[in-house]
Structures are given as C-alpha cells and as structure tokens.
C-alpha cells in the first residue's frame, strides 16, 4: 500500500486539486482537476497526467450545496482512483498566516481558530480557504490536514520593507506588510534554481499576474520586498481591486460621501480595479479583445502601474537581472507582457518581438516552462535582461511541504 496526499486550493466559486502518491521517497502526481461553479451550476472534472478524463460530474443550479457535499464527491473520485492506496493527508492553501504562521502547520482546533481570527485581514479569501478544512474534519475526522500560507514566503523580508510609517505600538500589534502569493513565488523560485541557476542567484522580479496580482523582489531565491502588504488590496491594479490607493480617499468616502465601512469594503474588493476602470469586465481576456477605449485604458493602467512598481522593486534589489511572468495574465496575455516591458526599457528589458507573440504557447509545451532564454536588449551598453513567461503548478510545492507531515 502506498500513501497518497491531496493538495487543495479553494476559492469563492472553485476548488482546484491535485493528487500525489509517494514512490521511493519522491512524490508523483497522479492527476489534477477542479470543481468550478460552486454556488451555481457546479462542475467537477478530474484528469490524469495525460489529460484523459478520470471522472466528471455536474450539478444543476442550486444543487450540491456546501463544501462538504462537493468534497464528498471529490473523495469518491480519489478513493476510486487510489484503489488499494490510502489517502493519508490533505494540504490546503491558506492566504493569510499573520505573524504566527511562517511555516506549514498541522491543523488542530487551536490552529484553526487562530486562522479564523485572520479573516478580517483577507475577507475575500480566508473564509473560502478554511471552509474545506472544516468540511474535511466533518467528513474524514481522522485525516491529517496541513495549512500552507501565502504570507510565509515573505516573513523574512528586511524590517525596512515590512513596516509602515505608523506608531511603534501599532507595528508591534501586527499592523505590518505581510505580502501574498507566497506559494506561487516559492514554486517559481524553485523553478528558477532548477532551470536557470545563475539567474536564480541574481536579482529577479517575479510577476504573479492574475485576477489577483502582485510582484516579488527576489534576491538569491529569497523575498526582499513585494507589492501586496497588510491585505491583498495593496499594490498592482487587479481584476476587481484597485491596488495602491491614497488612504485619504477612504477618509473622503467615509466623511463626505457617507459610505459605511461595509460599502467601502465592497467597493475595494468587488467593484474597483479593471472592472471599475473599464466598466466592462474584470477579465483581461475580454479587455484585450475589446475595441472600447475604456477597455484599452484599463489595460494601459494595469501595465503602467505594474511597470512602476517593478521599477521600485529594482531599487530594492539594487538592479535587475531578470523578470519572470506567471499566472493567467502573465502566461497568456502577450500584449500585457509587452506593455509592461516597454515601460521598463530604460532598465534594459525588452521582449524579442517574434517570441513575444508565440512565447507562452511554446513554453507551455515544454514541461515546467522555459526561464533561460534571454531577450535582445543592448541599448545604452547594458547587457540583456531576461524576461520569460513561466507556467506553474504550485500545488506541486504544497505536496512536497505536506509530505513532511504525513507518512507518504
């Protein structure tokens, strides 16, 4: 009998998963899939490593109900696929670990309460991350569960990068810059070490560009600064979040517009960003395909803000040796990559015009992507800097971390 582990990334309307078994001390992924449309017409599909469908199930609008219902269906698929093998643990992505959780942690009633206390710092994500943990406790009470935190990768940032210019007592109470997307950045740092070790030892800006977006300044594989901070609202323009915003705007909305805290929270988490600027969509694919000037303006703002903050991170790094794009927009939107790099030409960054269009699709056919191709730039006697799109499977990283807590 072989032990198996399940890695889960739960969101508000979807649950992504991957299944691994241990062989000779190594984790081997057996399959992956997603339950999407939670809260509506849900759809579960699981595929093996060749892409063949292992299982598929659909629920009508309003059926399925709770996370526990969907997880029971997922466990039916897992048990059928494992056969004689045994599921020994589940790993979860949890967005906020606060100051306490700087490494993966075995879930207990006490640690779960501590994670629940952080919900106000990540109201858009934390409740959905924790819901499957409670559901699995109810469905499989003896099954080990491990939480892996997006904030943990940034916990060793220099103090000057981690603090706000607020009174010391507030800083000591935990109001500081935490950073997010750490599991993504941890995976990318590992991919860099494997595929471009010289670059991995240098000064790299990692760009996680999806509906949620951030940048990370990486020196010798370690985070030294990042664009998100106390919450996942800060930094880049995102699908429905504004990114960096003058705090005076919040005060104005409270005092002069009479908006409540709940209304402002809804504005900042759900009605701003690309959606708010364009008035059309939060999806970058829809915006880049649209001829509407508001869509073009939203894309331009996204690229401009990302480039400005990449430049700031180059200051934190003392220079720039590479720029790595990842996540849905970073991998699949060549117009956005080109737009960001155009603003950064003064730093020596330029995409090869031929690779710019075909790059992400070409790299997707190469396992793990390609990080070693320098793009041409020699203006002002600078050496060329590398800019690449990277396909990531960050759940692989959670599986490796979970294996340290379970007998695989």
pLDDT in tens, 74-94: 888 888 877 656 888 999 999
**170 pLDDT exceeds 80?**
yes
Q: Which domains does the chain have, with CATH numbers?
A: 3-149 (3.30.420.40), 197-389 (3.30.420.40)
Q: What is the mean pLDDT of residues 257-285?
A: 96
Cα 7 from chain centre: 15
Q: How far is CA 61 from CA 33, 43, 64, 375, in A?
A: 21, 10, 9, 48
End-to-end CA distance of the chain: 10
Output the pLDDT for position 339.
95
Q: How far is CA 133 from CA 16, 116, 270, in A?
A: 14, 11, 25
Catalytic residue among 48, 69, 150, 225: 150
Output the pLDDT for position 239.
94
Q: What percent of the chain has pLDDT over 90?
A: 61
Q: How far apart are CA 386 and CA 218, in angstroms?
A: 14
Q: How many Å is the maximal CA-CA distance in the chain? A: 66
Output the pLDDT for position 38.
76
Output the pLDDT for position 402.
53
Output the pLDDT for position 363.
34
Q: How far apart are CA 158 and CA 24, in angstroms?
A: 39
Confidence label for 95 from pLDDT (cuts 50, 70 and 90)? very high
Output the pLDDT for position 159.
95
Taking alpha carbons only, the member of 225, 249, 224, 228 closest to residue 238 is 228
**406 pLDDT exceeds 60?**
no
Confidence label for 366 from pLDDT (cuts 50, 70 and 90)? very low
Output the pLDDT for position 69.
77
Confidence label for 117 from pLDDT (cuts 50, 70 and 90)? very high
pTM over 0.85? The answer is no
Q: Which two tokens stand for residue 316?
A: 């934190």
348: left (phi over 0), alpha (psi -120 to 50) or beta: left
Q: What is the mean pLDDT of residues 160-189?
A: 94
Q: How far apart are CA 129 and CA 110, in angstroms?
A: 16
Cα 86 from chain centre: 29
Give residues with Cβ within 8 angstroms of 306, minimum separation 6.
Answer: 207, 209, 213, 215, 236, 237, 340
pLDDT in tens, 303-335: 999 999 999 999 999 999 999 999 999 999 999
Strand-pair category, 14-23 with 26-36: antiparallel
Output the pLDDT for position 398.
53
> Is 153 within 8 Å of 179 (Cβ atoms)?
yes
Q: What is the mean pLDDT of the chain?
A: 85
Q: How far apart are CA 14 and CA 7, in angstroms?
A: 14
Q: Does the annotation count 48 as an active-site position?
A: no
Output the pLDDT for position 300.
98
Output the pLDDT for position 282.
94
Confidence label for 153 from pLDDT (cuts 50, 70 and 90)? very high
Q: What is the mean pLDDT of residues 139-154?
A: 93
Q: How far apart are CA 195 and CA 309, in angstroms?
A: 26
**374 pLDDT exceeds 80?**
no
Q: What is the mean pLDDT of residues 15-43?
A: 83
Q: What is the mean pLDDT of residues 330-353?
A: 89
């Amino acid at each position: 009998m072989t032990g198996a582990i399940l890695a889960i990334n739960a969101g508000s309307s979807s649950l992504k998963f991957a299944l691994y078994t241990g062989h000779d001390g190594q984790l081997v992924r057996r399959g992956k899939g997603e339950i999407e449309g939670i809260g509506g017409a849900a759809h579960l599909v699981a595929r093996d490593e060749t892409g063949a469908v292992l299982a598929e199930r659909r629920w009508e609008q309003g059926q399925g109900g709770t996370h526990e219902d969907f997880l029971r269906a997922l466990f039916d698929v897992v048990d059928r696929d494992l056969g004689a093998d045994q599921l020994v643990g589940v790993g979860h992505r949890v967005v906020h670990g606060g100051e306490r959780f700087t490494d993966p942690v075995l879930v207990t009633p006490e640690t779960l309460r501590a994670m629940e206390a952080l919900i106000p710092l990540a109201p858009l994500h934390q409740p959905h991350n924790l819901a499957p943990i409670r559901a699995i406790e109810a469905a499989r009470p003896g099954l080990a569960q491990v939480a892996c935190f997006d904030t943990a990768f940034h916990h060793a940032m220099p103090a000057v990068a981690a603090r706000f210019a607020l009174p010391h007592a507030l800083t000591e109470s935990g109001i500081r810059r935490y950073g997010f997307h750490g599991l993504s950045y941890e995976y990318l740092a590992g991919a860099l070490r494997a595929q471009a070790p010289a670059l991995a030892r240098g000064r790299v800006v990692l760009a996680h560009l999806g509906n949620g977006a951030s940048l990370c300044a990486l020196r010798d594989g370690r985070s030294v600064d990042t664009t998100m901070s106390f919450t996942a609202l800060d930094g880049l323009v995102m699908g429905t979040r504004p990114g960096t915003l003058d705090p005076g705007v919040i005060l104005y909305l409270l005092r002069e517009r009479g908006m409540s805290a709940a209304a402002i929270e809804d504005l900042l988490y759900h009605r701003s960003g690309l959606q708010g600027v364009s008035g059309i969509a939060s999806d970058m694919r829809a915006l880049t395909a649209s001829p509407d000037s508001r869509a073009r303006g939203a894309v331009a703002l996204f690229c401009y803000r990302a480039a400005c903050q990449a430049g700031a991170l180059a200051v934190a790094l003392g220079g720039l040796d590479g720029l790595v794009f990842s996540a849905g927009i970073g991998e699949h939107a060549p117009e956005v990559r080109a737009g960001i790099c155009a603003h950064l030409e003064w730093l020596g960054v330029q995409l090869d015009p031929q690779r710019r269009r075909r790059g992400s699709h070409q790299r997707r056919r190469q396992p793990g992507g390609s990080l070693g191709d320098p793009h041409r730039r020699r203006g002002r006697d600078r050496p060329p800097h590398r800019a690449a799109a990277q396909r990531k499977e960050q759940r692989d990283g959670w599986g490796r971390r979970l294996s340290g807590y379970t007998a695989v």
